[in-house]
C-alpha cells in the first residue's frame, strides 16, 4: 500500500530559490508574519521547511524554542500581563525547588557539599596597601 493512494494526489517537492527563501526569512524575523503564516501565504508544503530556512539563513537563534513570548504579548492588557508574569514566577519557583531538591539528594547520596558556602561579611580591604 502506497501513501499516494490514500490522498489521491501525489505530493511534489518544490525547489525554492535563495532569494525567495531570504525574503520569507526576512519577513518572519521582522515579525511581519509567523513561520506558519508564511507557509500558508506562499503555499509552502513542508511543515518545517520555513524553520529550516530560518535556522540556515536567519540572523536570530531559531534552534531552541523560545519561551511563550509572541507578538500577542505586545497587545496584552495589564491584567493579562500580570497573569502571565505570575505564571512565569510560579514556574521559576518550581524550577528552583526542583534544582534545590536535586542538590540535596546529590549531597546525601554522594556525601558532597555542592552549595556555595557564604562567608561572613568581609571588608573591601584585603590587607594590601593601595598607596
pLDDT digits (tens, 9 = 90+) for 71-90: 555 688 899 899 999 999 99
What is the per-residue pLDDT across 90-106, written as a single tens digit (0 to 9) for each?
Answer: 999 999 999 999 989 98
Centre a 10 Å sphere on the Cβ of residue 12 and count the other Cβ atoms it contains: 6
Same domain, 71 and 105: yes
Within a domain: 121: no
Give the whole-angstrom CA distance, residue 91 versus residue 55.
Answer: 28
Q: What would the mean pLDDT of 7-20 be, rounded to a whole number?
A: 69
Whole-prediction pTM: 0.40
The vertex-30 CA angle with 54 and 45, nearest 5°, equals 45
Closest C-alpha among 78, 51, 81, 57 to residue 69: 81
Same domain, 28 and 59: yes
Residue 66 burial (CB < 10 Å; 0-12/13-18/19+)? exposed
Q: Which domain holds residue 96?
A: 67-113
Given a cut of 60, whether residue 70 has pLDDT beyond it is: no
Q: How many domains does the chain have?
A: 2
Within a domain: 6: no
Amino acid at each position: 500500500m502506497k501513501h499516494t493512494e490514500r490522498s489521491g494526489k501525489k505530493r511534489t517537492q518544490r525547489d525554492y530559490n535563495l532569494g525567495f527563501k531570504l525574503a520569507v526569512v526576512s519577513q518572519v524575523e521582522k515579525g511581519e508574519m509567523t513561520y506558519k503564516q508564511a507557509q500558508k501565504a506562499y503555499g509552502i508544503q513542508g511543515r518545517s521547511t520555513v524553520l529550516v530556512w530560518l535556522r540556515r539563513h536567519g540572523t536570530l537563534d531559531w534552534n531552541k524554542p523560545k519561551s511563550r513570548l509572541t507578538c500577542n504579548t505586545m497587545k496584552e492588557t495589564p491584567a493579562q500581563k500580570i497573569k502571565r508574569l505570575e505564571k512565569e514566577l510560579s514556574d521559576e519557583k518550581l524550577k528552583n525547588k526542583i534544582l534545590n531538591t536535586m542538590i540535596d539528594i546529590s549531597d546525601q547520596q554522594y556525601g558532597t557539599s555542592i552549595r556555595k558556602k557564604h562567608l561572613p561579611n568581609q571588608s573591601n580591604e584585603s590587607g594590601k596597601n593601595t598607596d
